[in-house]
Chain A
Amino acid sequence: MITMLFQVGSEFTYFIIGIVLTISVPIISFLIGMYAMKRYAKKKRWGDSFKTAFIINILLLVPNFPINILLSFIFNDIIITTAISIVNNITLGTILVMIFYKKKFKDSFLFNIVIQLIIFPLTFILGLFFGFVLVIVFFPNMVFSTLIIIRDIFSLIFIQGVGVTLLLTALGLLGGFAIGLPLAIMRVYGGIELNWLASGYEKLFRGVPVLILIYIFAFGMPDLFWYILHPLNRVLASVILALALRSGAYQSQIFRGAILSVDLGQMEAARAIGMSRIKALRHVVLPQALRLAVPGWSNEYAVVIKDTSFAFQVGIIEMTKWAYRYGTNYPELWMLSMGVLAVTYFLFTFPLTKLFGERQTKKLKALGIGGG
């Protein structure tokens, strides 16, 4: 946005916006400080003195103008300026509170830290908001064209890339399930040897980054899927294999935890009516374990869909590749492309993890599943 501002707007308009922000932000800070200080003092019964709060805040406000301008000239860095400004406010504020509210050092100090912690993020956010509003007011065309660009990027990423991404995710997750569930059963019900095998697998595929796995299978073993005719599909299959292997290692943990959460008495009762271990697993333990595994599993879904973003390194055209392409073709829009991409991934992960997350576990406990 700032970059585009420079390109599109004139120096003068930028200067005006700067002035408006420099004035409005301290005023916002002052108002918030007043409100916060008054409420805090009232709560702590320091004497609800509106006048005292007003004096303190004015005395904080006035020197802030020149100090901030001076600081922004000395250090051209906004972080250092802000940090020094906060420290300055706390020091000055502590002294003023000690004088006017007649409080001890410790109380004043804590009080000011709390006030600053409240003021700083609020004014920052409000300042940003003001800035955006001003930009929209002064440069409506630019804003409009930015929105159009965002829409283009999004449709490129989403419409073109989402199919492949979802395919990779689905098959990777399924593969992981096919690997993870048997592994978990091996670890819980198997003997020492099976346990050791499963544990070894887990350790191996949890310890290697996905990207390296993808490189190994896609480029390192290109003929692994020799029976697939189209070479691109071979790479696709290799990527899915890499994703499945890694996901399997994590899903094994998820299912192992879920199976162990099922009451031991369930297995006992199932065997007591004559079920073999396998039947008992199938009809009693696993139905409950799988329900218990849903929250962890929805988390795994989020991980796998993010893992698919590595696939573009080996030539798969999925969402990240589209954003990358766009960003390299229009470097000044790199931030925008990546931002839209990030939001897209977020839209895929957030609703599902919220839906199938912790709320599910509570519902299940109410049913009596997974108390042990």
Chain B
Amino acid sequence: MEVLKGISFKVLEREVKVIFGPSGSGKSTLLRCINMLNPPDKGDIFLRGKNLNDPEINLNAIRARIGMVFQHFNLFAHLKAIDNVSLGLRRVKGFSKERARAKALETLDRVKMVKWADHYPAQLSGGQKQRVGIARALAMEPDVILFDEPTSALDPELIGDVLQVMLDIAKSGTTMIVVTHEMGFARAVASEMIFIGEGVILERGTPQHFFISPKSERVKKFLEQLDILYGGHDKLLQHSNGEGSK
């Protein structure tokens, strides 16, 4: 079954690409192709010039440079929050226990979860879990972080905190590829937005392009729908954006 029927795009450093579109269009599959969890049947992925399809490449080392944040968090249930973040540092990057712990605390501070460092995932709310998930990806200092609908599984009240964290790290220069419906977020920090439908790119452009004059009717209707559902967050992010600069 062909899910992606021909997608091609480039992501430059410090860019924030937002991918959106109807469900089933292959967005999650696309992300899993990028970090080779689900290698593409045709086509190549390049990370800093290296072709990931090259059999000589150590995929595990590559994946350590590509972070991922999941829709359902996928936190390691048997480990405390701090250990969730430090596990990769210790076992993949070979940090010592102390160095890993220090870096983990630092990263948890960035996502404002230091207070809960010794809590288990089961003791955290959805938004808190996702922030730990983001910290887990951040701590590895990857070249790019992939976000697979990070807020879709959250209760409305909790989405704001997570989006705020994502906003912060976007502004600090992290390269991000985000699959999401949160148009407020896209409007605030996206360098480029890509609309994918039926396995192909239907339209792409800057946020201004999409929100002022999208080309296709399809995209227009989709954005209208999103506005109805998610309009509220827009105000949340505009408010915070008013203080900072883009």
Contact = CB atoms under 8 A, between A and B. Distances in A.
Interface in A284-335: 284, 287-288, 291
A109 to B, nearest CB: 53
A203 B92 CA distance: 38
A288 B77 contact: yes
A283 B89 CA distance: 13
A268 B37 contact: yes
B77 A279 contact: no
A192 interface: no
Interface in B100-121: 120-121
A361 to B, nearest CB: 14
B175 interface: no
A98 interface: no
A368 interface: yes
Contacts of A368: 77, 120-122
B86 to A, nearest CB: 11
A72 B59 CA distance: 83
Given A268-B37, A274-B60, A276-B60, A367 B120 contact: yes
- Residue picked from B64, B78, B87, most chain A C-beta under 10 Å: B78
A282 to B, nearest CB: 9
Given A367-B77, A367-B120, A274 B92 contact: yes
B95 interface: no
A209 interface: no
Most buried by A among B62, B65, B88: B88
Contacts of A288: 77-78
Contact of A269 (B66, B68, B91): B68
Interface in A239-279: 263, 265-266, 268-276, 279
Interface in A211-257: none
A366 B83 CA distance: 19
A103 to B, nearest CB: 56
B16 interface: no
A369 interface: yes
Q: Looking at B73, B77, B87, B140, which has the most chain A CB atoms within 10 Å of its CB?
A: B77
A279 B94 CA distance: 13
A268 B121 CA distance: 17
A279 B62 CA distance: 15
Interface residues of B, number: 29
B63 interface: yes
A258 to B, nearest CB: 13
Interface in B9-64: 35, 37, 60-64
Contacts of B65: 274
A272 B68 contact: yes
A265 B91 contact: no
Most chain A beta-carbon neighbours within 10 Å: one of B68, B73, B76: B76
Contacts of A273: 63-64, 67-68, 87-88, 92, 136-137, 140
A333 to B, nearest CB: 52
B73 to A, nearest CB: 8
Given A269-B68, A271-B37, A271-B63, A279 B122 contact: no
A272 B72 contact: no
Contact of A283 (B35, B70, B87, B122): B87
B95 to A, nearest CB: 13
B64 A274 contact: yes
B74 interface: yes
Nearest to A370: B77
Given A367-B122, A368-B122, A279 B92 contact: yes
A222 B154 CA distance: 65
B88 A275 contact: yes
Contact of A284 (B67, B73, B76, B122): B76
B91 A283 contact: yes
Given A271-B37, A274-B61, A275-B88, A291 B70 contact: no
A274 B62 CA distance: 7
B152 to A, nearest CB: 14
B75 interface: yes
Contacts of A274: 60-65, 88, 92, 140
B72 A287 contact: no
Contacts of A266: 74, 76-77
27 contacts: A263-B77, A265-B72, A266-B74, A266-B77, A269-B68, A269-B136, A271-B60, A271-B63, A272-B37, A272-B63, A272-B66, A272-B68, A274-B61, A274-B62, A274-B140, A275-B91, A279-B91, A279-B92, A284-B76, A284-B78, A287-B78, A291-B78, A366-B122, A367-B78, A367-B120, A367-B122, A368-B121
Given A269-B136, A273-B88, A367-B120, 15 more contacts: A263-B77, A265-B70, A269-B70, A269-B75, A270-B76, A271-B63, A272-B67, A272-B70, A273-B67, A274-B61, A274-B64, A274-B140, A275-B91, A284-B76, A368-B77
Interface of B: 35, 37, 60-68, 70, 72-78, 87-88, 91-92, 120-122, 136-137, 140
Q: Which 4 A-B pairs have the closest CB atoms?
A: A274-B64, A265-B74, A269-B74, A273-B88
